[in-house]
């Protein structure tokens, strides 16, 4: 069965702006969804057992290697079974939440999802990356050049030498304007950014749905 794989990583639950925008996508999506909430149920960080299990004959696996490989296999099978992807990844301290990085390290495996000299089995499949951040990081802003979330994930998720997904990014900025009095003058800009993100998410869900039905 083909489905949308939704990977959530915000720790804020319903208060999360990235989750709220992702919900706009989900509300417009027609079809089955597999949802993995990494904040509620984190996957383990990659261990020595997980790395060595990939290059050790199964008959020679230790119990620790077998357990680590079973986790990787579950996550990779879930990735491979999807026809489209929704990633909810806010900015924490200029980077991605550690739970999402742990998930990436578990699912990027040479010979399974990353093919040396070839394309990943998920290459070309559509993906939406939804991110939110407390400030502004675009050209001309004081924080320009300090976004280590979106450029990194667009490379990891979208580069042909890695997963090769067809990634579209949706960003809501200046979220701290809702709680920081020093940023109150930026609240209209945040509200416009958030509204545009919701609109783009809904449009992408409709577009994905049409592509899926074609």
For the cut 90, the answer to whether the pLDDT of residue 208 exceeds it is no
For the cut 90, the answer to whether the pLDDT of residue 79 exceeds it is yes
pLDDT tens digits for range 115-136 = 888 899 999 999 999 999 999 9
Let me know: does 165 contact 127? Beta carbons within 8 Å: yes
Query: Coil, helix or strand for 97?
Result: coil
Q: Span 165-182, mean pLDDT?
A: 96
Q: Span 124-150, mean pLDDT?
A: 95
Let me know: does 102 contact 45? Beta carbons within 8 Å: yes
Give the CA distances from residue 4 to residues 26, 30, 119, 128, 189, in Å, rounded to whole numbers and listed in that order.
9, 10, 21, 11, 31
For the cut 70, the answer to whether the pLDDT of residue 213 exceeds it is no
Domains identified in the chain and CATH numbers: 4-213 (3.40.50.360)
* Confidence at residue 39, expressed as pLDDT on a 0 to 100 scale: 96
Kindly report the average pLDDT of the chain as a whole number: 94
Residue predicted with more confidence, 124 or 214: 124
For the cut 90, the answer to whether the pLDDT of residue 2 exceeds it is no
For the cut 70, the answer to whether the pLDDT of residue 214 exceeds it is no
* Confidence at residue 77, expressed as pLDDT on a 0 to 100 scale: 97
């Amino acid at each position: 069965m083909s489905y949308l794989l939704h990977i959530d990583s915000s720790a804020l639950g319903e208060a999360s702006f990235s989750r709220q925008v992702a919900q706009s996508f989900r509300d417009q999506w027609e079809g089955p969804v597999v949802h993995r909430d990494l904040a509620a149920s984190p996957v383990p960080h990659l261990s020595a057992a997980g790395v060595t299990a990939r290059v050790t004959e199964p008959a020679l696996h230790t119990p620790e290697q077998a357990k680590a490989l079973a986790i990787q296999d579950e996550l990779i099978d879930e990735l491979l079974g999807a026809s489209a992807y929704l990633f909810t990844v806010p900015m924490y301290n200029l980077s991605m939440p550690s739970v999402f990085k742990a998930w990436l390290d578990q699912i990027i495996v040479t010979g399974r999802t990353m093919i040396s000299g070839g394309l990943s089995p998920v290459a070309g499949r559509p993906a939406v990356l939804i991110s939110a951040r407390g400030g502004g990081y675009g050209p001309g802003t004081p924080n320009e050049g300090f976004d280590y979330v979106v450029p990194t994930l667009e490379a990891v998720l979208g580069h042909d030498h890695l997963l090769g997904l067809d990634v579209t990014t949706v960003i809501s900025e200046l979220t701290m304007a809702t709680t920081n009095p020093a940023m109150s003058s930026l609240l209209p800009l945040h509200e416009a950014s958030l509204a545009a993100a919701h609109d783009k998410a809904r449009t992408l869900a409709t577009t994905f749905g049409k592509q899926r039905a074609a």
